[in-house]
A and B are shown apart, each in its own frame.
Chain A
Amino acid sequence: MSEPKRDLVESPEEAAATGTLAARISLSQRAGGVAVPVATIVLAFLIGGLVVLATGHNPLDTYRDVFNGAGLNWFFHPTTSTQGAAAYNLSQTLLQSTTLILTGLAVAFAFRCGMFNIGGQGQYFVGLVVANWLGVSFADMSLLPHALITIVGATLAGAAWAGIAGVLKATTGAHEVISTIMLNWIAFYMASWLFGDGGPLQTSDPTRQTVPISNDVARSAQLPVIWGTHGFQGLDIGFLIAIAALVVFWALINRTTLGFEVRAVGFNPDAAAYGGINVKKNLIRAMTISGAFAGLAGALDMVGYLYHYGQLDVQVSQVGFIGIAVALLGRNTAVGTFLGAVLFGGLLYGTTQGLSSNVIQPELATNLTYIIQGLVVLFIGADLLILYVWNSRRRLRPRRAARAPVKAAA
Chain B
Amino acid sequence: MSDELVLEMRGIRKEFPGVVANDDVSIQLRRGEVHALLGENGAGKSTLMNILYGLYRPDAGEIRLNGKPVSFASASDAIEAGIGMVHQHFMLIPVMTVAENVVLGTEPVKDGVLLDEASAERRVAEMAKTFNFAVEPGALVQDIGVGQQQRVEIMKALYRNADILILDEPTAVLTPQEAQDLFEILRTLRREGISIIFISHKLKEVLEIADRITVLRRGKTIETVPREGATEESLARAMVGREVLLRVEKQAADTGEVLLEVEDLHVTDDRGIEKVRGVSFQVRAGEIVGIAGVDGNGQTELIEALTGLRRAERGLIRVGGRELHHPSTREALDAGLGHIPEDRQRRGLVLEFSLAENIALHDYATLPDSKWGWLFPGRLVERAKRLIQEFDVRGGGPFTPAGALSGGNQQKLVAAREISRDPQALIAAQPTRGLDVGAIEYLHRRLVTERDEGRAILLVSLELDEILSLSDRILVIYEGEIVGEHGGDVSEEQIGFEMVGVAREVPA
Residues of chain A whose beta carbon lies under 8 Å from any beta carbon of chain B: 1-8, 14, 26, 30, 254-261, 263-264, 267-268, 270-278, 398-399, 401-410
Q: Which residues of A contact B16 (CB under 8 A)?
A: 4, 398, 406-407, 409
- Is the pair B347, A4 in contact by a Cβ cutoff of 8 Å? no
**Residues A408 and B353 in contact, CB atoms below 8 Å apart:** no
* A6 CB contact (under 8 Å) in B216, B352, B405: B405
* In the bound complex, CA of A24 to CA of B100 (Å): 30
Please, how many angstroms separate the alpha-carbon atoms of A6 and B339 in the complex? 25
Task: Please tell me if the beta carbons of B43 and A410 are within 8 angstroms of each other in the complex.
Answer: yes
CA A274 to CA B216, docked complex, whole Å? 37
Closest to A398 in B: B17
Contact A410 B39 (CB under 8 A): yes
Q: A401-B17, A409-B47 are in contact. Are A8 and B352 (CB under 8 A)?
A: yes
Judged by a CB distance under 8 angstroms, whether B361 is at the interface is: yes
Interface string of B123-134 (1 = CB under 8 A from A): 000000000000
Name A274's contact: one of B41, B341, B353 (CB within 8 Å). Answer: B341
Residues A257 and B375 in contact, CB atoms below 8 Å apart: yes
7 contacts between A and B (CB under 8 A): A5-B406, A256-B374, A257-B370, A276-B330, A278-B330, A402-B17, A409-B42
A342 to chain B, nearest CB (A): 28
Complex Cα distance A8/B352, Å?
9
Once the chains are docked, how many angstroms separate the CA of A268 from the CA of B17?
30
What does DSSP make chain B's interface, helix, strand, loop or mixed? loop
- Let me know if B176 is at the binding interface, CB within 8 A: no
**A278 to B369, alpha carbons, bound, how many Å?**
18
B219 touches which one: A276, A399, A404, A409 (CB < 8 A)?
Answer: A409
B window 326-372: CB within 8 A of A: 328-330, 333, 339, 341, 346-353, 357, 360-362, 364-365, 369-370
Question: Which single residue of chain B is at the shortest CB-CB distance from A8?
Answer: B403
Cβ contact within 8 Å between A404 and B17:
yes
Q: How far is the CB of A400 from chain B (nearest CB, A)?
A: 8
- The yes or no answer to B394 lying at the interface (CB within 8 A) is yes
Determine if A255 and B374 form an interchain contact, defined as CB atoms under 8 angstroms apart. yes
Q: Whole-angstrom distance between the alpha carbons of A22 and B364 in the complex? A: 24
B503 at the binding interface (Cβ < 8 Å)? no
Closest Cβ of chain B: how far from A12's Cβ, in Å?
A: 14
The 10 closest A-B pairs by CB, nearest first: A409-B21, A275-B361, A276-B330, A267-B352, A410-B46, A274-B347, A276-B329, A5-B404, A410-B45, A257-B365
Partner of B19, one of A14, A30, A401, A409: A409
From the candidates B22, B309, B360, name the one contacting A273 in the complex (CB within 8 A).
Answer: B309
In the complex, the answer to whether A4 meets B19 with C-beta atoms within 8 Å is yes
CB distance from A41 to the nearest CB of B (A): 25
Q: Chain A residues with Cβ under 8 A from B41's Cβ?
A: 410
Q: Is there an interface contact between A3 and B329, defined as CB atoms closer than 8 Å?
A: no
Shortest distance in angstroms between B198's beta carbon and chain A's nearest beta carbon? 15
> A258 vs B348: C-alpha distance in the bound complex, in angstroms?
20
Q: Are B346 and A270 in contact, with the CB atoms below 8 A?
A: yes
Give the distance to chain A from B306, nearest Cβ to Cβ, in Å. 12
1/0 per position for B399-422, CB-CB distance to A under 8 A? 001011110010000000000000
* Docked-complex contact A264 and B353, CB < 8 angstroms: yes
Query: Do B349 and A271 have beta carbons less than 8 Å apart?
Result: yes
Contact of A4 among B21, B89, B330 (CB under 8 A): B21
Give Cα A5 to B42, complex, Å: 9
| B168 CB, nearest partner CB in chain A, Å | 10
Q: Say whether B20 faces chain A, with CB atoms less than 8 Å apart.
A: yes
Residues of A within 8 A of B401 (CB): 8
Contacting pair B329 A274 (CB below 8 A): yes
**Seed contacts A276-B333, A405-B404, A410-B43; 17 additional CB < 8 Å A-B pairs:** A3-B409, A5-B405, A8-B401, A255-B374, A257-B374, A260-B357, A260-B360, A260-B364, A267-B350, A268-B351, A270-B346, A401-B17, A402-B18, A409-B21, A409-B42, A409-B219, A410-B47
With A and B bound together, what is the CA distance between A258 and B374 in angstroms?
9
Min CB distance A7 to B, Å, is 8
Which residues on A sit within 8 Å (CB–CB) of B394? 3
Given the known inter-chain contacts A257-B365, A267-B351, A410-B43, please indicate yes or no for A6 contacting B17, CB distance below 8 A: no
CB neighbours (8 Å) of A8 from chain B are: 351-352, 401, 403-404
Beyond A255-B375, A257-B365, A274-B339, whether A3 also contacts B395 by CB under 8 A is: yes
In the assembled complex, the Cα of A257 lies from the Cα of B377 at a distance in Å of 11
In the bound complex, residues from chain B placing their C-beta under 8 Å from that of A3 are: 42, 394-395, 406, 409
Residue of A nearest to B17 (CB): A402
